[in-house]
């Protein structure tokens, strides 16, 4: 049970270090055309809400992996793993597409608020889907800065929300030197009715148990968010060795996800996250 709990909270927090390995994809791993293989592993700690919509926070371990092998990229983002099946072209424009697999652990444990805790634990959502994207390297500041856009779609194939999540995102990153990297990302989430009902409804029975008013949520535009990332090499070169990464993010819940008593009474629509950790690039 202890081991399972450590695995669960590590997965929850992994999103807070998701950007820390971006440096591995920004500069050429072999100092030439960017075709060299590279793998980055990051470990650290994160400060984040105890559930989506919570105003209670906790500090938990975090981890991330990202890499490129034979031109094919892979990376973790939160509790999801992405695999890019389109090899890098090497001409400065990179198209990406591939599968996504992951889990959603919202309200499966670690809930601090007594009213939301009284609603009971929820099932883990097992989600699969895919993504498409495009990125351009060498845009504004140097030959190595990158701007990209991506849209992902995942659907619960288990017995949790049994619905979908669509996430468009825009990201920009640039090395300030061979030792320092900074990045910014903007994203939004659009979800189905099943997601809204599963995580944000309060049933009559739930109202009696928790003291929260009843509420019925509908899907749609769930949230928007922004994150900022800074990475500093400790080995003298972002392309190899040890680096320290700091990430901060803000997400704002919208519409029924903001109006739900789970958020408006027991929590907050303002969702802050922060993380610091070490990343090692091979």
| pLDDT category of residue 70 using cuts at 50, 70 and 90 | confident
Instruction: Flag whether pLDDT at 234 surpasses 60.
Output: yes
Instruction: Flag whether pLDDT at 13 surpasses 70.
Output: no
For the stretch 33-46, pLDDT in tens is 445 789 999 999 99
Q: Report the domain count for the chain.
A: 1
Total count of residues recorded for the chain: 282
Q: Which domain holds residue 47?
A: 2-281
For the stretch 177-192, pLDDT in tens is 999 999 999 999 999 9
C-beta of residue 253 within 8 angstroms of C-beta of residue 196: no
C-beta of residue 182 within 8 angstroms of C-beta of residue 230: yes
Mean per-residue pLDDT, 117-140: 96
| pLDDT category of residue 88 using cuts at 50, 70 and 90 | confident
Instruction: Flag whether pLDDT at 205 surpasses 80.
Output: yes
Instruction: Flag whether pLDDT at 6 surpasses 80.
Output: no
Asked whether the whole model's pTM tops 0.85, one would answer: yes
Distance of alpha carbon 279 from alpha carbon 274, whole angstroms: 16
- Print the SS3 string covering the chain: CHHHHHHHHHHHHHHHHHHHHCHHHHCCCCCCCCCCCEEEEEEEEEEEECCCCECCEEEEEEEEEEEEECCEEEEEECCEEEECCCCCCCCCEEEEEEEEEEEECCCCCCCCCHHHHHCCCCCCEEEEEEEEEEEEECCCCCCCCEEEEEEEEEEECCCCCCCEEEEEEEEEEEECCCCEEEEEEEEEEEECHHHHHHHHCECHHHHHHHCCCCECCCCEEEEEEEEEEEEEECCCCCCCEEEEEEEEEEEEECHHHHHCHHHHCCECCEEEEEEEEEEEEC
- Ranking 8-12, 32-36, 175-179, 254-258 by mean pLDDT, the lowest is 8-12
For the stretch 133-186, pLDDT in tens is 999 999 998 889 999 999 999 999 999 999 999 999 999 999 999 999 999 999
| pLDDT category of residue 106 using cuts at 50, 70 and 90 | very high
C-beta of residue 181 within 8 angstroms of C-beta of residue 22: yes
Mean per-residue pLDDT, 96-125: 96
Percent of the chain beyond pLDDT 90?
A: 77
pLDDT at 169: 97
Distance of alpha carbon 191 from alpha carbon 176, whole angstroms: 37
Instruction: Flag whether pLDDT at 241 surpasses 70.
Output: yes
CATH number at residue 65: 2.40.160.40
């Amino acid at each position: 049970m202890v081991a399972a709990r450590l695995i669960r909270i590590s997965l929850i927090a992994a999103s807070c270090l998701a950007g820390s390995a971006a440096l591995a994809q920004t500069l050429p791993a072999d100092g030439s055309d960017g075709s060299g293989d590279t793998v980055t592993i990051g470990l650290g700690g994160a400060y984040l809400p105890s559930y989506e919509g919570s105003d209670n926070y906790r500090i938990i371990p975090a981890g991330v992996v990202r890499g490129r092998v034979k031109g094919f990229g892979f990376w973790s983002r939160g509790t999801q793993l992405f695999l890019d099946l389109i090899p890098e072209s090497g001409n400065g424009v990179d198209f990406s597409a591939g599968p996504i697999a992951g889990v959603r652990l919202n309200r499966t444990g670690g809930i601090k608020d007594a009213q939301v805790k009284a609603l009971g634990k929820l099932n883990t959502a097992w989600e699969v889907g895919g993504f498409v994207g495009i990125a351009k390297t060498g845009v504004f500041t140097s030959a190595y800065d990158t701007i990209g856009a991506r849209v992902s779609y995942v659907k619960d194939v288990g017995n949790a929300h049994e619905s979908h999540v669509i996430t468009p995102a825009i990201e920009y990153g640039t090395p300030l030197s061979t030792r320092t990297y900074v990045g910014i990302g903007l994203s939004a989430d659009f979800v189905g009715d099943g997601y809204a009902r599963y995580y944000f409804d309060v049933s009559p029975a739930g109202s009696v148990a928790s003291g929260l008013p009843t509420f019925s949520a509908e899907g749609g535009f769930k949230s928007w968010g922004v994150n900022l990332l800074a990475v500093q090499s400790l080995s003298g070169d972002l392309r190899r060795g040890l680096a320290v990464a700091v990430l901060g993010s803000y997400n704002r819940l919208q519409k029924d996800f903001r109006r739900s008593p789970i958020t408006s009474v027991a929590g907050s629509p303002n969702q802050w996250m922060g993380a610091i950790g070490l990343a090692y690039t091979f």
